[in-house]
Chains A and B, each alone.
Chain A
Amino acid sequence: MYPDDLRYDKAHEWVRLEGDVVAIGISHFAQNQLGEVVYVDLPSEGESLSAGDVFGEIESVKSVSELYSPVDGEIVEVNDTLADAPETVNEDPYGKGWMIKVRLSDPAQLDDLLSAVEYEALLSEEA
């Protein structure tokens, strides 16, 4: 449910390091809470983000949630396939359901994020 090679934040995003770029998506828990995802609103390439910034929105039939960036950096790629197939976020949240890729300004920020074990502990606390 929560792969060991990813880092997580309290707003239920995950981050995967791929060279000096990170891919960002939402966790299994988050997609399950949302239910059937019907729309993902993502930013454009080239925009700059700071940790905690809203970078998009994700909608289910009867809810809308903001997506927060866990890191600082510049958006270098956006997952355009989600426009036509938002359900990918439910089906494969850690794979094809990624949302944006960001070139990190400060790789050390990753150390502040949660490990899979810490994230699961957070979830059981919230429950």
Chain B
Amino acid sequence: MTGQPRHAERGVRRGPRELIFEMGSPESRCVEPPALDVPEVDLAEALGGAVREEPVALPRVTEVQIARHYAHLASMNFGVDSGSYPLGSCTMKYNPRVNEDAARLEGFAGLHPYQPLESVQGALEMMAGLAEALAEVSGLPGVTLQPAAGAHGELTALMCIRAYHAERGAVRSRVLIPDTAHGTNPATVAMCGYDVTTVRSDAAGGVDVVALREALDADVAAVMLTNPNTLGLFDENILEVTRLVHAAGALAYCDGANLNAVMGISRPGGIGFDALHINLHKTFSTPHGGGGPGAGPVCVSAELAPYLPGPIPVRVPDGTFRFENPARSIGRVRSFYGNVGVLVRAYAYVRALGGAGLREVSEQAVLSANYLKERLRTHYDLPYDKTCMHEFVLSGSRQKREYGVRTLDIAKRLLDFGFHPPTVYFPLIVEEALMIEPTETESLAELDRFVDAMVAIAEEAAAEPEVPKGAPYTTPVRRLDEAGAARNPDLRYRPEV
């Protein structure tokens, strides 16, 4: 046993207790509105009869009960502040606190989207400034900040590409995607009314140029690539790939999930990409929030810029700012202007780092990933043995084959060592994949501790395979009955009538 207490040896369990619905009493109150200072209205009359008969069975609790409830729930969660979070392709870097404060300034948080333009000049300046920075990082001049997340950005970009082809009278029905792609790519393609054609990767982990050449024809609207790809590799043939795409009359789309590797080092616009989405909640340090909100701005070439969704904040020569709708805009992809609170955080991050700082971020992210790769390579299989970018992929095949310890077991065991596991079973082309992205913000001591944990688990898999197979032992709950959850879905509390 390698240092961690077994289940039976643990102290008090911190698992779920009651639901907020099960607390409080009919008398319990937290915040009440002030006494009504205008005449009551007859609701049935005011609403044309469409009134609710029974009150909604929401909780009745006091503030201290709420505070304790969420303190308890928080204690069962693992965030970036809790420890290392080397989740591949998710870029779980530290979220600077000053950015949180910036987004909460009343001058941003208190803005209504339909205020007079003169009263929101600072917000537009912030948005335009962020857009300019993203254009510089990407090498693509047209930017929309509207998309709410990466997948939303993908869809927005693909819709622009669709409109671009339509205006040129080109009927193209397919989009090519490599077999290493995130699931959002094919799902986005389908939502945009295109068919997916999968292109295999070559032995070096890049796009197979021969396969690409075969798949490219006049029916292909676009190729969606993640570069660096999900194996953590910069595609060495990328210039040839984008050249072939353009030669076929198609456009090249870059999934920017892995932009953290190349800021100031290589620009998507400089290597032939026509469009890119950026996950501000990855590369630009805005927090993931337990699943959102993020923001997925899209950067495009001058040719695609007229199709972007509006309104777009622009800097006017007289020093003021206003919104403009691009000439041949696809239309809106959501209400208002985007997840502005997230944009404020990203803007603050950009101004803190500047151009030089962003490059240092990428350099350190790549160095830290290569450092982990070198230290772990003998303990796990390394299917693509090259210099990696900001992440790399190990395989737990050896552990599975020799000891019956699966990658899932390794991931769960890492929880006992105080680490969030890497991304597992992705990309799909690597068996028992462990995709590791340390990010630039982890200290060397933390990286070394992660190595120690991974090595300890590899040793444990050989010596005592039952230990990782039963992990985790120290978490608020242990492995879950996920099959039971799916077979008999219990998705909500039902109050007793």
| B483 beta carbon closer than 8 Å to chain A | yes
If over half of B's interface residues share one DSSP class (helix, strand or loop), that class is named, otherwise mixed; here it is: helix
CA distance A49 to B486 in the complex (A): 29
Q: How far is the CB of B404 from chain A (nearest CB, A)?
A: 15
CA distance A86 to B483 in the complex (A): 10
Q: CB-CB < 8 A to A39: which residues of B?
A: 486-487
CA distance A41 to B307 in the complex (A): 41
Q: How far is the CB of B190 from chain A (nearest CB, A)?
A: 15
Q: How far is the CB of A59 from chain B (nearest CB, A)?
A: 7
How extensive is the interface on chain A, given as a class? under 10
Q: How far is the CB of A119 from chain B (nearest CB, A)?
A: 25
Could you list some 12 contacts between A and B, CB below 8 A? A35-B483, A36-B483, A38-B483, A38-B486, A38-B487, A39-B487, A59-B486, A60-B483, A61-B483, A61-B486, A86-B487, A87-B483
Question: Which 3 A-B pairs have CB atoms at the shortest separation, nearest pair first?
Answer: A36-B483, A38-B486, A61-B482
Q: CB-CB < 8 A to B482: which residues of A?
A: 61
Residues of chain A having any CB pair with chain B under 8 Å: 35-36, 38-39, 59-61, 86-87
Interface string of B459-497 (1 = CB under 8 A from A): 000000000000000000000001100110000000000
Which residue of chain B lies nearest to A86 when distances are taken between CB atoms in the complex?
B487
A61-B482, A61-B483, A87-B483 given; name 12 further pairs at CB < 8 Å: A35-B483, A36-B483, A38-B483, A38-B486, A38-B487, A39-B486, A39-B487, A59-B486, A60-B483, A61-B486, A86-B487, A87-B487
Q: CB-CB < 8 A to A87: which residues of B?
A: 483, 487
Q: CB-CB < 8 A to A38: which residues of B?
A: 483, 486-487
Q: CB-CB < 8 A to A36: which residues of B?
A: 483
Q: How far is the CB of B423 from chain A (nearest CB, A)?
A: 14
Which residue of chain B lies nearest to A36 when distances are taken between CB atoms in the complex?
B483
Q: How far is the CB of B250 from chain A (nearest CB, A)?
A: 29
Q: How far is the CB of B483 from chain A (nearest CB, A)?
A: 4
Most chain B CB within 10 A, of A35, A38, A59, is at A38
CA distance A60 to B482 in the complex (A): 10
Which residue of chain B lies nearest to A61 when distances are taken between CB atoms in the complex?
B482
Q: How far is the CB of B409 from chain A (nearest CB, A)?
A: 15
CA distance A36 to B487 in the complex (A): 10
CA distance A39 to B486 in the complex (A): 8
CA distance A119 to B486 in the complex (A): 31
CA distance A36 to B486 in the complex (A): 10
Q: CB-CB < 8 A to A60: which residues of B?
A: 483
Q: How far is the CB of A38 from chain B (nearest CB, A)?
A: 4
CA distance A39 to B484 in the complex (A): 11
Q: CB-CB < 8 A to A59: which residues of B?
A: 486
CA distance A25 to B483 in the complex (A): 21
Q: How far is the CB of A50 from chain B (nearest CB, A)?
A: 22
CA distance A86 to B487 in the complex (A): 7
